Amino acid sequence: MLDANFWQDKANSKNIVKEKKLFEDLVNSHKNSIQKLNDIEDLYQLAIEEKNFSIQKEVFENIKDLRNEVKKDEIKCFLSNEADILDCYIEIHAGAGGTESQDWADMLRRMYLKWSDNKNFKSSLISEHKGDEAGIKSSTIKVEGEYVFGWLKRESGIHRLVRISPFDSGARRHTSFASIWVYPVVDENINIEILDKDIRIDTYRSSGAGGQHVNTTDSAVRITHLPSKIVVQCQNERSQHKNKETCMNMLKARLYDFEMKKKEKESENSDSTKSEIGWGYQIRSYVLQPYRLVKDNRTNHENTSPDNVLDGEIDDFLEKSLYQIK
């Protein structure tokens, strides 16, 4: 940052300043935690000498608060990979099963949006294909905030729901599947070259609300990367140009994620617990009937309040999965 030409490259300097702030916040938080611990210890000694039970109770509450602060810093230390500080895209796809699975995909999207709101992160809808009767066939959302990709990167996989179907007149129990794919929003520092000959661009009419808001132009954009067969699409903007720009950013992110995963497989130090994302690989089960339980199949972490989990309270699952990373 002391270089005379540092501010010439605004994009690069912005990212370095952001990274510097993250490290400074972590160091300052650590120093503050040590100071608070010393203050708590002094207060506790005073409470013991004066046999003041109300202050002792206050000390125990302060210890709980400090423990939570230290835990947050500890988690940030686990988020040390290059892409962890980046924003992310979340792709949600309904599995086989028609309306039931499409409704489940919509429930998962709501869960991640609620989690984002709870964290005061910014979320936006990139594309969506509604179900025939209810729910969604697929959806892509973008979540922006500190360490978003680091938090959510282990959510990629198959999520399984067991419940009494609200769409079954016989009130029978159904099992539904939906896939989640999380990948980082690449910044300007990560150079991804995309050749014109390697992509096919298609335009189509955006699906959306009817009436005066109906989209009468072919503003939605779909880009296919021919060598990798990766397909991205965007329809959230009225402008075809803006949708194309968003699609290109998504394609860069997908290609970056594709290359990172390929390197992980080739590396001898790659985590042996990583598996190919496929319909036979379920990372988490949400059971609403005949009992109520959410269980992560990788960490064995359980929660007996599925309603709270589906309302976005998934931090415990995210933390456990991060601790499992070696």
Q: What does the pLDDT look like over 102-131, one tens digit per residue?
A: 999 999 999 999 999 999 999 999 989 998
| CA-closest candidate to residue 135, choices 172, 92, 88 | 92
Say whether both 91 and 192 belong to one domain.
Answer: yes
Report cis status (omega within 30 of 0) of the bond before 166. Answer: no
CA 258/CA 64 separation, integer angstroms: 41
What pTM did the predictor assign? 0.74
Say whether both 239 and 304 belong to one domain.
Answer: yes
211 Ramachandran zone, left/alpha/beta (phi>0; psi -120 to 50): left
DSSP at 289: S
156 is a domain residue: yes
Q: What is the pLDDT of residues 187-208, one digit of tens each?
A: 666 678 888 899 999 988 776 5
Say whether both 23 and 112 belong to one domain.
Answer: no
pLDDT reported for residue 215: 47
Q: What CATH number did the domain enclosing 147 receive?
A: 3.30.70.1660
Q: How many domains are contained in the chain? A: 2
The first and second tokens of residue 9, run together, are 């490259």
1 is a domain residue: no
132 is a domain residue: yes
Average pLDDT, rounded, for the chain: 84
pLDDT reported for residue 27: 87
Q: At residue 227, does pLDDT exceed 50?
A: yes
